[in-house]
Amino acid sequence: MSKAYVLVVDDEPDIRDLVREILEDEGYEVATAESAEAAREQLRERRPELVLLDIWMPGEDGISVLKAWAAAGELNFPVVMISGHGTVETAVEATRHGAIDFVEKPLSMGKLLATVEQALAQHPAAPRPAPVTPVGRSTLMCDLREQAERTAAGDSWVLISGEPGSGRKCLARYIHGLSARRNGPLVEVAAGTIAGSSAAEELFGQEIAGATRTGRLEAAAGGTLVIDGLTDLDAEAQTRLASAIDAGGFQRVGGSAQVPLDVRMIAITRHDPADAVAAGAFRQDLCYALSVIPLEVPALRAHAEDIPELVRFFVDGMVEAEGLKYRRFTVAAQNRLRHHDWPGNVRELRNLVQRLLVLGDGLDIDVDEVEAALATAGPGQADAGWPPSIPLELPLREAREQFERAYLQQQLERAGGSVAGLARLAGMERTHLYRKLRSLGIDPREGSEAGGGRA
């Protein structure tokens, strides 16, 4: 795979050819354009990871092109300006409109390569979270890691199934982090958030009135696209996706240019794929295309022997990353956790560990404290009356106040009337919290007296 895809825009053929040859020798994939219009044509075909843009060109100059991209919301890549007549004023203007650097002609190839590398390092196409190895020494988890590692060695598309909270996204990131695409972007999209008519535009991009908006597939070019809840996509988006897989490319909504499909797709579903197909929620051809390698993440109750190791992993991580006070679970407490059903799977266990570290005192977490925490988290108790019902006809300010009042009252009850505990739960500094409680008409002393708690 190439290091990055770079678009060089310059009206001088010798400069274009020289820069292309130098960058290609360094492993970059390069396209060239001799004018602003030619650059727009290139953008319609494929989104670059970096643009080298000449300022002085016949017709539309580079600064005007940069301003137009920024105004249209299309400036989703770093731009380095090139000029043979550079001045401080033009450099400042270019920076003000979104350029990240400026190089002058005659070009120093050493300076150019250093600038390109720095621009790509400072402005990666997408954040790359460090992959977390799925935790557990049970046979189920050992087998799952082995399957994931074998999967990562190839470039086949993957369909991950399993219950919500079981660690499906963690597995997808793990596969990406081990793959040959690990230096490319990792783009994640929750299908439920783009359901409906906007799904196709979000995935494939859009061309309208001469403007181009890239979609998630282009943003993930050279890397991995993770679609969570694939069966939530509407029929049109599923049809377009199936066609793109079959053709090895796609067209943006409203466009005609063919964009190459250069991604590894990992789809996540909570449903059994065959059941989703039978129910009409999942196209059969799309299911086949994405099920080249099917992986199923087990529910936590199926590998409860891994719970002590998971608990240690969460405690260590929260102490280091969140600055929480270290506490240890007694053997009896760990045994109780192993015999819980965990309907929310690993996510539920993590939330429980966090709550015990935040609210508890003392070094040891014993079985009674775990029992109390499990009871508090049970249905119909801590979450009773939540979320609050807020009339939609209210102005935003009043609706926000109602939500904040209900949220803080609920958290105050969870904290047993303790303002210190409420501050930890809400993540607020106590002085600011007191002012907020006063402005919302909440008297913590009333909660304290009613619940027998302490402030």
Kindly report, residue by residue over 285-324, the tens digit of the pLDDT: 888 888 889 999 999 999 999 999 999 999 999 898 778 8
Q: How far is 100 from 122, CA to CA, in rounded Å?
A: 10
Sequence spans of domains, the chain: 5-122, 139-296, 300-376, 396-451
> CA-based angle 66:69:70, to the nearest 5?
85
Domains 5-122 and 139-296 equal at CATH topology level: yes
d(CA 301, CA 138): 12
For residue 367, count CB atoms less than 10 angstroms from its CB and return exposed for 0-12, middle for 13-18, buried for 19 or more: middle
Mean pLDDT of successive 10-residue stretches along the chain, which has 455 residues:
80 89 85 92 85 90 87 80 71 76 78 80 54 91 96 93 91 94 85 69 80 79 89 84 91 88 92 84 87 92 97 93 89 96 91 87 94 70 50 72 79 67 74 74 51 34
Write down the pLDDT at residue 225. Answer: 93
Report the CATH architecture of 396-451: Orthogonal Bundle (1.10)
CB 355 within 8 A of CB 324: no
What is the CATH superfamily name and number for domain 5-122? Response regulator (3.40.50.2300)
pLDDT tens-digit map of 95-150: 777 888 888 888 777 778 878 887 886 665 544 446 789 999 999 999 999 999 99
- Compute how many other C-beta atoms are within 10 angstroms of the C-beta atom of residue 280: 9
> How far is residue 443's CA from residue 160's CA, in Å, rounded to a whole number?
48
300-376 in CATH: which number?
Answer: 1.10.8.60
Q: Which two tokens stand for residue 79?
A: 């731009």
The pLDDT, as a whole number, for residue 379 is 44
Q: How far apart are CA 453 and CA 355, in angstroms?
A: 17
Quote the CA–CA distance of 223 and 324 in Å, as a whole number: 35
- Asked if CATH classification 3.40.50.300 holds for the domain at 139-296, the reply, yes or no, is yes
| Residues paired with residue 8 on neighbouring β-strands, in sequence order | 32, 52
Distance CA 12, CA 9 (A): 9
Q: Is-contact 157 293, C-beta < 8 A?
A: yes
